[in-house]
Amino acid sequence: MTRIVLLNDELGSQMQIYLALCDGYNIEIAESVEAAMYLLRKLRPEILVMDYDLTHFRARGKQGIDFIRKVKRKYNHLKIVIILDDKDKAYETEIQQNGADGIIYRPLKNRHVVFNVKKVEESLGNNETTLIPIHHAPAAN
C-alpha cells in the first residue's frame, strides 16, 4: 500500500484529507515540519501531501517553497502534492519548478483529493518532477 505523509497545520482540512485517503493509502500525519522530516526519514513514504501555507514554518521567516526544496534535495524520489489557496496561485510556477508533482486547490473536495493523489501515485517510479496539472476530478455521472 502506498505510504503518504500528510503535513497540514489546519486541523479541519487535515482530517478531511485523511478521511478521503485512508481507505486506499497508509497515511501518517505530521504535526510539524520537524515531525514531517522525521517521518520522511523513518518511513520513506512515496508521497508527501502538504499545505503550502505552513503557519508555524512561515513564523520562522520561511515559506512552503523552502520546505519543498529541502525535501526534494533529500528525497528526490518523493512525490509532493501541494495544497494551495486562491491567494497562492501566483506561486504555482515556482512551486512546480522547485519540485511539486501535483496541486490541490481549496476549497477541498474529497473526490479532487483522491483523484489528484491517484494521478501522482501513477507517476511513482518516474524520477522526473513533472507537475500533474489536474485541479478537478472528472464530473460524477
92: domain CATH number?
A: 3.40.50.2300
- Answer yes or no: is 132 within a domain: no
- Answer yes or no: is 109 within a domain: yes
Percent of the chain with pLDDT strictly greater than 90:
57
- Answer yes or no: is 66 within a domain: yes
Residue 113's domain comprises 3-122
Q: Say whether 61 sits in a helix, a strand or coil.
A: coil
- Answer yes or no: is 67 within a domain: yes
- Answer yes or no: is 135 within a domain: no
Its pTM stands at: 0.87
- Answer yes or no: is 93 within a domain: yes
Burial class (CB in 10 A: 0-12, 13-18, 19+), 30: buried
Mean per-residue pLDDT, 99-118: 92
- Answer yes or no: is 140 within a domain: no
- Answer yes or no: is 134 within a domain: no
Q: Is 50 left (phi over 0), alpha (psi -120 to 50) or beta?
A: beta
With a cut of 60, say whether residue 130 has pLDDT above it.
no
Please tell me the total count of domains within the chain.
Answer: 1
C-alpha cell, 37: 522530516
Q: Say whether 3 sits in a helix, a strand or coil.
A: strand
User: Distance of CA 36 to CAs 20, 89, 109, Å?
Assistant: 20, 24, 24
Residue count of the chain:
141
Q: pLDDT tens digits for 16-72? A: 999 999 999 999 999 888 999 999 999 999 999 999 887 666 656 677 888 899 999
103 Cβ contact list (under 8 Å, min separation 6): 81, 82, 83, 84, 92, 95, 116, 131, 133, 135
Rounded to the nearest angstrom, the gap between the alpha carbon of residue 91 and the centroid of all alpha carbons in its chain is 15
